[in-house]
Chain A
Amino acid sequence: MDYKAGVVLRDYIIRRILLGIIVLIGVTIVTFTIARVIPSEPAARWVGPKATVEQIERAREQLGLDKPLHIQYLRYMQDMVSGDWGVSIRTRQPVVRDIRNFLPASLELTITGMLIAIIIGIPLGVFSSVHKNKIPDHAVRFFSIASVSLPTFWLAMILQLIFFKELGILPLAGRVSMEVRWMMPFENITGFNSIDTLIAGNIPAFIDVSKHLILPAVTLASYPLGLITRMIRSSMLEVLGEEHIAVGRAYGLSDHLIIYRYALKNALSPTLIVVALSFSYSLAGTFLIEAIFSWPGLGYYAALSIITADYPAIMGVTILIAILYVVLNLIVDIVQAFIDPRIKIG
């Protein structure tokens, strides 16, 4: 990259970050307002189900809920910037600590799921497009529609029934077996069990952890897998019909070169956006999968926070996901510019 392009890229990133901050402020205002105007009494939840009126009044003061809404918001933002995201009404733990506890589990699951979806989805889409309207294409299309439309909870339970109850080769739920946790304990460094076990060089624990990952990750992969396959297939078909491909063929370039070097590169662009968006969505939206596989992740945390009107936790999760959306979109835009020279940044 030459100097000029570097400057353009730098300015672009700075502009996007500033824009991202404005988006985030907007998100916080909207979330804060919604979380606080819905009819609920966080103070009552704070003290208990049979609290007296005086107890609730005291809690309102403690939690600063007796102040006007805009003061509450400003105070919240002030604390947030300094790293204090408040204390969850429901779990009684600092929201930052909660997120630190639950985020790695969700990230580990989501990343694995997305990797499965990408590793299988892209070749499958290419394969399908190359054999357009032949039996393999029909089979792949059937598969991708099925994987998009299968209800998550149903797929999860079917997988549990087959691999745990019938075959007995994969664990039912949880992140690690109790035996492994006690007999072969490993230090919690990154929060990603698979990485932590590898850092510790604890191979049996790594295998146990990986086994626990398979079923939830496959369930999670199901939806993006179908989506990616379909996206790749249709973009590939579009690209393969273009003139430069026909020219390439006329020059006698091999099929392999044409498909993977020229066509797939162009077809990847739109798929990348889908991957990025479903990644951030899956992170807090996999509440059902987390519930069925007893996976202590962010999705379940978010769902419970919403049900209990736990506004500091709702704010925390929303801001986190919003930051992820903004950052991922930025990365996707930059990566797109690199793989597809037609897209100009700046």
Chain B
Amino acid sequence: MFVKYRIFILIMITLLVLVVIISGCGAPDTEPGATPEPAPGVRNIAVILDTEEIVVFWDPSETWSNEVIAFQNVYESLLRYDPFTDTFEPILATGYSVSEDGLSWIFELREGVKFHTGNPFNAEAVKYSIDRTKELGMGSSFIWDAVEEINVLDEYTVEFVLVYPSPLDLIASAAYAAYIFDPVATEEYGREWFYEGNAAGTGPYMVESWIPMDELVLTRFDDYWGGWAQENKFEKAVYKVIQEPSTARQMIEAGQADWITMLPFEHISALEADPNISITVTPSFQNLMGLLNTEKAPLDNVLVRRALNYAFPYDSVIENVMLGYASQGRGTIPKGLWGHSEELYQYGYDLDRAAELLAEAGYPDGGFELLLTYASGNEFQRRIGELYKAELVKLGIDLELRGMPWESQWDMAKAPNPEDRQDIFVFYWWPDAPDPISWLWGLFYTEEEIGFNLSYFYNPEYDALIDEGSMLAGADRDEAIRLYAEAQQIVIDEAVSIFIYDQENVRVMRTNFKGYKDNPVYANVVFLYDCYRE
């Protein structure tokens, strides 16, 4: 009997022995559950997990995507904005002044700053960087549209001349398109050099290595202008791409990672009990909206649009889909950003009121169909759509949910004939610079050619308020806020959009990872220079 099975048994034993040998030897393993011992010679490493490729746009003029999470540590801009205190932190600029007409901004620059390439930072570099970004016209380069020219006044002073008044301090603090990079390296090596995985910033960390779809390693820049006096700052940072949330969760539980950008909410509650893990919840500047097609019947009737606002199950969405990590939107500007107003009217879930309004509009039993489009693959948006559909059925309205790739969703919204467009366009919005104008101008301002005003809302009174407000935003912030609130009230009265929720950021990190402060202007960024391990 044994002879008959001997080959089989032999193979099994060999395989077993191989597995045991391979798993038994080699470098000493980290015990699951323990904090990783930094390897000798590499004192202190931060490990940050993200589900997406860390860097796509290596060119600092083009960047608008996920790379912000690493690039904010590699590149610097003139200022950094704190939305909670409404203050600016001087980074590459030590101070600035603005002329009375708001058309000339003069920045004094920090002296003794070096790029990672060893070349010196100066006013020429600022002019070169911003000019190049404007010229390339990629990503969010349009934030500089107000700038007519940049003048180098001396080695460390630079002047921005604007075509129309604009809050340049906010623009210079933008998360994207505001990086200052080395003109010498850029001219010498060109765009291709960046895309091979190189950077030429002034930030506290330099790019050490990059493996696409796997990891980006940053290492301390010894000549950083801020110095490295504090002992326990991180020597290196590893950004790892972990596509599968359950893998990411196991890594942080096992102490193999310090910080996760965003875990699906269902994992969060399971991690709350772990003493080695801390969870923070902070406002984000991302909000979800359902823009209503005001050019197509029956939504061309304001009463119907108001009814749709009252029929939306806000609380149920926040509780069941977002598991509480969001709050109902009030106007278009998200909570936490200047310009947000708690005074604005907020539609609540009230089916009776919705039915009354429908009857008043001539649809006592509903009896019409609506098409809601959302980004295909976005589970949140799909589930929200389902909940809404269930409510509208009660009013006799049949809601069709259609998940589409972003480009198709947007193409449909731009169809020449309003009848060919969707009725409700569900999508997220987030700012390019910490300025509410991003929503107010981007979503509701009159457009000649359809861009993102996908309610097709054209209101001269609204436009005038925004024009006036944006002129004042640099010089008289309070007055701008008042005008913006007035403008938002028009949008709310006209019920051109359902303001579904303002999202919250839920961060999962190891308890001994200290110094992290969430700043929604720089979405998902860990400013490594401020962090340390306890």
Contacts and interface: CB of A to CB of B under 8 A. Distances in A.
A55 interface: yes
A168 B213 contact: no
A208 B26 CA distance: 6
Contact of A127 (B5, B45, B407): B5
Given A172-B251, A211-B23, A50 B432 contact: yes
A214 B22 contact: yes
Interface stretch (A11-19, A178-186, A235-243): A178-186
Contacts of A165: 32, 250, 254
Main SS of chain A's interface residues? helix
A127 B8 contact: yes
Interface in B399-438: 405-408, 410-411, 432
A182 B238 CA distance: 12
A39 B451 contact: no
Contacts of A204: 26-27
A169 interface: yes
Nearest to B51: A291
B42 A49 contact: no
Nearest to B15: A120
Contacts of A207: 22, 25-27
A149 interface: no
Contacts of A179: 27, 39
B187 interface: no
A35 interface: no
A272 interface: no
A90 interface: yes
Interface string A155-182: 0010010011100111111110111101
A174 B215 CA distance: 10
A211 B26 contact: yes
Interface stretch (B90-98, B134-142, B459-467, B514-522): B134-142
Contacts of B64: 48-50
Given A40-B408, A44-B407, A291-B244, A172 B254 contact: yes
Contacts of A184: 27
A292 B250 CA distance: 11
B23 A41 contact: no
A98 interface: yes
B228 interface: no
Nearest to B137: A55
B240 A294 contact: yes
B250 A160 contact: yes
A53 B7 contact: no
A273 interface: no
B53 interface: yes
Given A92-B195, A173-B242, A130 B4 contact: yes
Could you say which interface size class chain B belongs to?
35 or more
Interface in A48-70: 48-50, 52-55, 58
A307 interface: yes
B250 A309 contact: no
Contact of A102 (B32, B39, B213, B406): B213
Contact of B39 (A90, A170, A182, A291): A182
B273 interface: no
Interface string B14-26: 0100010011111
Contacts of B406: 49
A39 B407 contact: yes
B323 interface: no
Q: A48, A124, A290 — which one has the most chain B CB atoms within 10 A of its CB?
A: A48
A285 interface: no
A52 to B, nearest CB: 6
B449 interface: yes
Given A168-B31, A173-B247, A294-B242, A102 B452 contact: no
Contacts of B254: 164-165, 172
B514 to A, nearest CB: 21
A174 B5 CA distance: 37
22 contacts: A39-B408, A47-B138, A48-B64, A49-B406, A50-B64, A50-B432, A102-B213, A124-B8, A130-B4, A164-B254, A165-B254, A169-B23, A170-B23, A171-B29, A178-B47, A179-B39, A184-B27, A204-B26, A207-B27, A210-B22, A292-B243, A293-B247
Top 10 A-B pairs, shortest CB-CB distance: A207-B26, A296-B213, A169-B23, A296-B214, A41-B407, A39-B408, A291-B243, A48-B139, A168-B32, A179-B39
Given A101-B212, A300-B213, 5 more contacts: A39-B405, A50-B140, A101-B211, A157-B246, A174-B240
Interface of B: 4-5, 7-8, 11, 15, 19, 22-27, 29, 31-32, 39-42, 45, 47, 53, 56-58, 64-65, 137-140, 142, 195, 211-214, 238, 240-244, 246-247, 250-251, 254, 256, 377, 405-408, 410-411, 432, 442, 449, 451-452
Interface of A: 39-41, 44-45, 47-50, 52-55, 58, 90-93, 98, 101-102, 119-120, 123-124, 127, 130-131, 136, 157, 160, 163-165, 168-175, 177-180, 182-184, 204, 207-208, 210-211, 214, 290-294, 296, 300-301, 307, 309
